[in-house]
Amino acid sequence: MKNSNSSLEFLPTMFILVGIPGLEAEHICISILFCLMYIIIFLGNGTILHITGTGPALHQPMYLFLAMLALAEVGVSASTLPTVLGIFLFGITEISFDACLFQMFFIPSFSIMESAMLLAMSVHGFVAIYNPLHYTAILTLPCIFGTGTIMRLKSIILMGPLPMLLRYLPFCGHNVLSHSYCLHPNLIHLPCGDVSINNIYGLFIVTSTFGLDSLLIVVSYGLILHTVVSITTGEGRRKALNTCGSRIYAVLAYYVPMIGLSMVHRFGFHMSPLVHAMMANAYLFCPLVINPIVYSIKTKEIHHSIV
């Protein structure tokens, strides 16, 4: 412990992570499930990155945005892997204060990039359906890579102040977290000092990223639906809807667990810790596992490349 001016206010050197409350005796079995999920995540997204990078025919806007989404998902997975497998495989429940702050920074920063890529793909879908003859001239390679770079810088800049704000708060002996990794909504409940600035800034991040992205995604798919309805041929309408199907699955897999976890954090104070743990795991792992499977099956070019 690093003692501060008050004997009650100190900065913990360690945080205690919790696996899945009530299922401690089943950690070995649960570790097998997590290992399978990580294999699917890294193998699926790695395959998408490989075939997109090595296949010249896939150097198109849709697949480049998909590759960026896969890269963000690999980043989220790599950020959670040390503590998740450490708990369930080796029973390591401690994480240093600095390592916890680093993890708290990287998980949401890659998640912000993931959300941004889903928005970019929805905008691409609208442009491709609304103006199919000229969309490649609109979404050029410099535009695509510039978009990816800006989104990554945005996530880093937004998340940068959070670890600093937490570092200077008194924790007063509270250092037990309720998840297998460090998340800001969980950490912010531990300090005994004034956390109003942290709450306001955290709300600003959520609103300006996930909130704005989800709103624009809904608008984009609304415009896509309006454009598809105006297509006269049934075959053209079916092809357009099929193209957007995998993207809609990805959006639902990402935002539904996120909304559920937010509701649990805000209003589920009296719920079982097991519910909190399950919702947190669903929020992180559902989109990471589902997306590479869906895109590998629903996207014809990627499916053919894999085969």
* Structural domain includes residue 80: yes
* Structural domain includes residue 169: yes
- pLDDT band with cut points at 50, 70 and 90 for residue 6: very low
Q: Report the C-alpha gap between 226 and 230 in whole angstroms.
A: 7
* Structural domain includes residue 47: yes
Using DSSP's 3-state secondary structure scheme, residue 131 falls into: coil
The CA R_g of the chain, rounded to the nearest whole Å, is 21
| Number of domains within the chain | 1
- 152-188 burial, b at 16+ Cβ within 10 Å, e below that, comes to bebbeebbeebbebbeebbbbeebebebbbbbbbbbb
pLDDT tens by residue, 34-78: 999 999 999 989 988 988 888 777 788 888 888 999 999 999 999
Model pTM score = 0.86
- pLDDT band with cut points at 50, 70 and 90 for residue 236: low
pLDDT for residue 7: 42
* Structural domain includes residue 5: no
Residue range(s) defining the domain that contains residue 124: 11-306
What average pLDDT does this structure show over 238-260?
A: 76
Q: Report the C-alpha gap between 1 and 268 in whole angstroms.
A: 31
Q: Report the C-alpha gap between 205 and 210 in whole angstroms.
A: 8
Q: Report the C-alpha gap between 217 and 136 in whole angstroms.
A: 21
pLDDT for residue 241: 66
Question: Strand runs (DSSP E) across the chain, as ranges?
Answer: 2-3, 10-11, 14-16, 94-96
Using DSSP's 3-state secondary structure scheme, residue 2 falls into: strand
Q: Are 162 and 105 in contact (CB under 8 A)?
A: yes
pLDDT for residue 75: 93
Q: Are 180 and 281 in contact (CB under 8 A)?
A: yes
What average pLDDT does this structure show over 254-280?
A: 77
* Structural domain includes residue 252: yes
Residue 5 has pLDDT above 60, yes or no: no
What average pLDDT does this structure show over 198-209?
A: 89
- CA dihedral of 230, 63, 35, 255, whole degrees rounded to 10: -40
Range with lowest mean pLDDT among 17-21, 160-164, 205-209, 230-234: 230-234
Q: Could you tell me whether strands 94-96 and 14-16 are parallel, antiparallel, or unpaired per DSSP bridges?
A: antiparallel
Q: What is the mean pLDDT of the chain?
A: 82
Neighbouring C-alpha atoms within 13 Å toward the C-beta of 155:
24
* Structural domain includes residue 6: no
Percentage of residues of the chain with pLDDT beyond 70:
90
- CATH number for the domain spanning 206: value is 1.20.1070.10
- pLDDT band with cut points at 50, 70 and 90 for residue 2: very low
Residue 108 has pLDDT above 50, yes or no: yes
pLDDT for residue 235: 67
For CA atoms 208, 141, 292, 298, the dihedral sign is positive
Q: Report the C-alpha gap between 61 and 188 in whole angstroms.
A: 39
